[in-house]
Structure 1
Amino acid sequence: MRPAPRLACLAAAALLQAGVPAATVAGLPAQALARGAPDSFADLAASLLPAVVNISSTETVTGDAPEDDDDQGGGGGGGGDQGQGPDVPAFPPGSPFEKFFHDFMNRQHGGGSPNAPPRKMQALGSGFIVDPSGIIVTNNHVISGAEEITVTLQDNTVLKARLLGHDDRTDLAVLQVHADHKLTAVAFGDSDKSRVGDWVLAIGNPFGLSGTVTAGIVSSRGRDIQQGPYDDFIQTDAPINKGNSGGPLFNMDGQVIGINTAIYSPSGGSIGIGFSIPANEARLIIEQLRRFGHARRGWIGVHIQDVTQDIADSLGLKPAHGALIAGIEPKGPAEKAGLQSGDVILQFDGRDVDGRSLPRRVAETPVGDAGQFSIWRDGHRQPLTIPIGEFPEQEAKPAAAPSPKPAASAAMSLPALGIKVSSITAALRQKYQLSDSQKGVVITEVAQDGPAADRGLRVGDVVVEVQQAAISTPAALQEQVDKARRARRASVLMLVQDGDAVRFVPLPVGSSHAKGSGPDKAP
Structure 2
Amino acid sequence: MLGVQSAAARSLPDFTELVEENSGAVVNISTTQTMQSGTRYGLPFSQRDFEQLPEFFQDFFGGPNSPFHRRQPGAPQERHSMGSGFIVSADGYVLTNNHVIEGADEIVVRLSDRRELMATLVGTDPRSDLAVLKIENGDDLPVVKVGRSSELKTGEWVLAIGSPFGFDYTATAGIVSALGRSLPSENYVPFIQTDVAINPGNSGGPLFNLDGEVVGINSQIYTRSGGFMGVSFAIPIDDAMNVFRQIRDHGIVSRGWLGVLIQEVNRDLAESFGLRRPRGALVAEVMTNSPAEEAGLKAGDIVLAYDGEEISLSSDLPPKVGRTPVGETATLEVLRGGDRIELPVVIGELPDEGSQQAQQATPQESTTAPLGLVVEPLPAKLKDTLGIDGGVLVTNVGRGAALNAGIRPKDIITELDRKPIRSVSEFMAAVRALPEGKAVSVRVIRQGRATYLVMKP
- Mapping of residues 377-456 of structure 1, within 5 Å: 377-395=336-354, 397=356, 409=365, 411-414=367-370, 417-424=371-378, 439-447=390-398, 449-456=399-406
TM-score when normalising by structure 2: 0.87
Distance 2:293 2:314 in 1: 18
Residues 360-417 of structure 1 show CA distances to partners (whole Å, capped at 9, x for unaligned) of 11111111111011111222111110001111113464999xxxxxxx9450221xx3
Which residue matches 1:506?
454
Residues 450-480 of structure 1 show CA distances to partners (whole Å, capped at 9, x for unaligned) of 3322332211111122244432333211212
Amino acid at match of 2:444: V
Distance 2:302 2:201 in 1: 43
Distance 1:303 1:497, change over 3 A: same
Identity of aligned residues (%): 39
Distance 1:35 1:398, change over 3 A: farther
Q: 2:12 aligns with which of 27, 37, 44?
A: 37
SS at structure 2 position matched to 1:218: strand
Amino acid at match of 1:313: E
Judge conservation of contact 1:484–1:491 (CA < 8 Å) in 2. Answer: no
Displacement, 1:117? 1.9
Larger mean CA deviation between 318-327 and 149-158 belongs to 318-327
Displacement, 1:74? 5.1
Judge conservation of contact 2:268–2:439 (CA < 8 Å) in 1. Answer: yes
Distance 2:56 2:356 in 1: 32
Distance 1:123 1:208 in 2: 10
Which residue matches 1:518?
none
Amino acid at match of 1:501: R
Judge conservation of contact 1:82–1:124 (CA < 8 Å) in 2. Answer: no
Judge conservation of contact 1:222–1:232 (CA < 8 Å) in 2. Answer: yes
Q: 1:477 aligns with which of 427, 431, 440?
A: 427
SS at structure 1 position matched to 2:376: strand
Amino acid at match of 2:454: P
Distance 1:332 1:477 in 2: 28
Displacement, 1:234? 2.0
Which residue matches 1:15?
none
- Mapping of residues 316-355 of structure 1, within 5 Å: 316-353=274-311, 354-355=313-314
Distance 2:60 2:185 in 1: 13
TM-score when normalising by structure 1: 0.76
Residues 92-137 of structure 1 show CA distances to partners (whole Å, capped at 9, x for unaligned) of xxxxxxxxxx9xx74xx21xxxxx3221111100000011110100
Judge conservation of contact 2:149–2:216 (CA < 8 Å) in 1. Answer: yes
Considering only aligned residues, what root-mean-square deviation do their CA atoms show, in Å? Answer: 3.2
Give the number of the structure whose alpha-carbon radius of gyration is greater.
1
Distance 1:461 1:245, change over 3 A: same
SS at structure 1 position matched to 2:132: strand
Displacement, 1:267? 4.2
Tell whether 2:368 aligns with 1:368: no
Tell whether 2:443 aligns with 1:495: yes
Distance 2:173 2:89 in 1: 25
Which residue matches 1:113?
none
Displacement, 1:424? 3.4
Distance 2:290 2:425 in 1: 33
Tell whether 2:8 aligns with 1:50: no
Distance 1:399 1:283, change over 3 A: farther
SS at structure 2 position matched to 1:131: coil
SS at structure 2 position matched to 1:121: strand
Displacement, 1:189? 1.2
Q: How many residues align?
A: 440
Residues 250-275 of structure 1 show CA distances to partners (whole Å, capped at 9, x for unaligned) of 11111001111112344444343322
Which residue matches 2:148?
190
Displacement, 1:222? 3.0
Residues 502-522 of structure 1 show CA distances to partners (whole Å, capped at 9, x for unaligned) of 11222123xxxxxxxxxxxxx
Residues 270-329 of structure 1 show CA distances to partners (whole Å, capped at 9, x for unaligned) of 343322112223222222222222221111111111122322333333333211111111
Tell whether 2:164 aligns with 1:200: no
Distance 1:66 1:450, change over 3 A: farther
Judge conservation of contact 2:92–2:138 (CA < 8 Å) in 1. Answer: no
Q: What residue ranges of structure 2 are gaps of 5+ in the alignment?
A: none
Distance 1:88 1:424, change over 3 A: closer
Tell whether 2:197 aligns with 1:239: yes
Amino acid at match of 2:441: L
Distance 1:347 1:74 in 2: 31
Which residue matches 1:18?
none
Distance 2:425 2:32 in 1: 64
SS at structure 2 position matched to 1:185: coil
Distance 1:422 1:74, change over 3 A: closer
Distance 1:306 1:370, change over 3 A: same
Distance 1:459 1:381, change over 3 A: same
Distance 1:152 1:302, change over 3 A: same
Which residue matches 1:315?
273
SS at structure 1 position matched to 2:314: coil
Distance 1:344 1:153, change over 3 A: same
Distance 1:261 1:228 in 2: 11
Which residue matches 1:75?
57
Distance 1:180 1:440, change over 3 A: closer
Displacement, 1:330? 1.1
Distance 1:437 1:176 in 2: 46
Distance 1:305 1:275 in 2: 23
